[in-house]
Amino acid sequence: MSLVEREVDVHHGWESSAAHSLKNLPQPRPRVAPIPLVKLCYTMVHAAEAVGIRDLADGEYRPSDTTLEQGIERQLNYLLDEVGCTRPGFRLLEIGCGYGHLLRLAQARGAEVVGVNLSPEQVQYCNEHGSRVYCCNYRDLLDAHEWHGQFDGVIANGSLEHWVQPEDVIAGRMNGLYQESFEIVRRLLDPHVEEARYVTTAIHVKRNVRPKDLLTPWREHPRGSDQRHFSLLHNWMGGYYPIDGQLEQCARPSFTLEAEADGTLGYKIANDYRMARMLRGLYTNPQLVWRLARSLVRHPRIARTMLECYYLEQSWDWQFRGDDPPMKLLRHTWRRAANG
Q: Which residues of the chain form contacts with ligand SAM (CB under 6 A)?
A: 34, 38, 42, 55-57, 96-98, 116-119, 122, 137-138, 157-159, 162-163
Say how far apart CA 304 and CA 302 lie, in whole Å.
5
> Would you say the C-alpha torsion 126, 127, 132, 137 has a positive or negative sign?
positive
Tell me whether residue 183 or residue 221 sits nearer to ligand SAM (CB atom): 183
Nearest distance from residue 159's CB to ligand SAM, in Å?
3
Tell me whether residue 16 or residue 271 sits nearer to ligand SAM (CB atom): 271
Nearest distance from residue 253's CB to ligand SAM, in Å?
24
Tell me whether residue 16 or residue 144 sits nearer to ligand SAM (CB atom): 144
Of all helices (H) and strands (E), which one includes residue 201? strand 197-205
CA atoms within 13 A on the CB side of 128: 7
Say how far apart CA 130 and CA 244 lie, in whole Å.
37
Nearest distance from residue 279's CB to ligand SAM, in Å?
20
Phi, psi of 31 (to 5 degrees): -115, -45
Nearest distance from residue 119's CB to ligand SAM, in Å?
4
Tell me whether residue 120 or residue 217 sits nearer to ligand SAM (CB atom): 120
Nearest distance from residue 122's CB to ligand SAM, in Å?
5
Measured in whole angstroms, how far is the alpha carbon of residue 188 from the centre of its chain? 17
Nearest distance from residue 135's CB to ligand SAM, in Å?
9
CA distances from 163 to 71, 74, 257, 268, 315 (A): 26, 26, 20, 22, 20
Residues 6+ apart with CB under 8 A from 135: 116, 117, 118, 119, 120, 123
Nearest distance from residue 275's CB to ligand SAM, in Å?
15
Bridge pairing between strands 112-117 and 153-157: unpaired
Tell me whether residue 32 or residue 243 sits nearer to ligand SAM (CB atom): 32
Residues 6+ apart with CB under 8 A from 338: none
Tell me whether residue 13 or residue 188 sits nearer to ligand SAM (CB atom): 188
Q: Which residue is nearest to ligand SAM (CB)?
A: 96
Residue type, 221: H
Say how far apart CA 223 and CA 234 lie, in whole Å.
16
Tell me whether residue 13 or residue 96 sits nearer to ligand SAM (CB atom): 96
Phi, psi of 116 (to 5 degrees): -125, 145
Nearest distance from residue 94's CB to ligand SAM, in Å?
7
Tell me whether residue 16 or residue 47 sits nearer to ligand SAM (CB atom): 47
Say how far apart CA 63 and CA 74 lie, in whole Å.
13
